[in-house]
Each structure stands twice: as structure tokens, then as C-alpha cells.
Amino acid sequence: MRILLIEDEVDLLTSLARALREEGYAVDAAADGEEGLYKSTEVAYDAIVLDVMLPLLDGWKVLERLRESRRTPVLMLTARDAAQDRVRGLDAGADDYLVKPFDLEELFARLRAIIRRAAGQTVNVIEVGGVAIDTAARRVKLDGHSVELTAREYCLLEFLAMHRGETVTRTALYEHLFDEDEDSLSNLLDVHVSNLRKKLGHGLIETRRGHGYCIG
């Protein structure tokens, strides 16, 4: 899953980006509202973490203009805990709202929830044959037994499972699993697919020649 962080506090931006990458997310960053709006409308992110108080263009304006063209899930961050601010954000089209300072685990949980809702996934566990994917705990079981995946392997599996029945193109997978600083021409995707097949069975992920991959 690919996340855009729009935050002007350098220390917070750096620590959040590092923490999200450790969770397996691909992360792009923007330090002001104008850059954030540009990136958010140019790339199909799985979620956006948007600060309210930003230079050049505040979070309210970014959200308003974003909603003219995209329904990307948005988690707003603010240092203000006033009820009217929360209401304003939700009414403007934010999917959730978190007040600074916050716990990282809560941020992760809220992100997972808005990503699930955007994908039409109403339950935490996705079952495909003998494979069970717990999107809340980010754990995978095969026939009831836990399977250890790397963070990137998990994200690839989760993305395909959330779009099960669809052929997901290689381009879409690179756009959602790798950030702007990673080499999209590498063979990392093939390596991750191969590893998932070894761990979960070769029949789980189908290759659609010339198109992409699919979980039935």
C-alpha cells in the first residue's frame, strides 16, 4: 500500500515515514500544501495523511480541491481538539481525524480501517482457499498455521486479496507498492510473487500473461 504524508514538521514527517516503511508501506512525502495537492492528484495513493496547518495551502484547501477529482481515503492530523474542527474535517470529506500528539499504533489502525473501507472490505479477515489474511493484525495463516512474510510480501498479498477476482496490472502493483524513490524497473515484484507462491502455494496467485496477476 502506498501512503502520501503531507506534513510540514520535519521531525514528525521523518519519523512517520520511517515508521510506516517499517510496517511495509511505500511512502511519499510533501512538506507543504501545494506539493501535497499536486502529488495527491497525480498518483493513486491508497491513503493520505494530511496535516491541517500547512504552508502555502492549508489542509482544508488541499482536501477541498482533492475531493473535486479523487476519493482517496484521507486521515487528517491537527493539534486542535475542538469539536468544530473535527466536524469541519469530516464534513469536508475526510475519512478520519486524529489529534496530535497521537500513538503510532492508533495511526496505523486508523489507516488500515480507512483503506479497508475504501476497498469495500468490511471485515478484518480475508479468506482465499486455505489462506486467511488478517488485515488488522497483518498476519497470514495457511490451513490454520501462521506463515511468516516480509512486510512487502504481506502488502503485495493484501493488495491482490483486496482486489480478488480482478487482474491487477504490473503497473498498478508498482504504483501501489513502491514509492517515488524506488526503481520501478527492477525485478522486485517478480521476486515477491515467487516468494509468496513458495510460502502459500503456487496456485494462489495466477499470472495473466501480458496483463498482471490475479487472486481468484
Q: What is the pLDDT of residue 184?
A: 57
What distance in Å separates the CA atoms of residue 212 and residue 22, rounded to the nearest whole number?
26
Task: Give the domains, in start order, of the chain with CATH numbers.
Answer: 2-118 (3.40.50.2300), 125-215 (1.10.10.10)
Q: What is the pLDDT of residue 91?
A: 79
Place of cell 491508497: 46
Q: What is the pLDDT of residue 188?
A: 81
| Beta-bridge partners for 215 | 205
Residue 43: exposure state from Cβ atoms within 10 A (0-12, 13-18, ≥19): middle
Q: What is the pLDDT of residue 176?
A: 87
Q: What is the pLDDT of residue 208?
A: 86
Q: For residue 165, give the nearest of 123, 199, 114, 206 by alpha carbon.
A: 206
What distance in Å separates the CA atoms of residue 77 and residue 94, rounded to the nearest whole number?
10
Strand order in the sheet with 205-208: 168-169, 212-215, 205-208
pTM of this prediction? Answer: 0.84
On whether the CB atoms of residues 73 and 47 are closer than 8 A, the answer is: yes
Chunked into runs of 10 residues, the chain (216 residues) has average pLDDT values of 94 94 91 96 94 93 93 89 73 88 92 88 85 91 94 92 91 86 72 94 89 88
Q: What is the pLDDT of residue 206?
A: 93
CA dihedral 92, 97, 99, 105 (to 10 degrees): -160
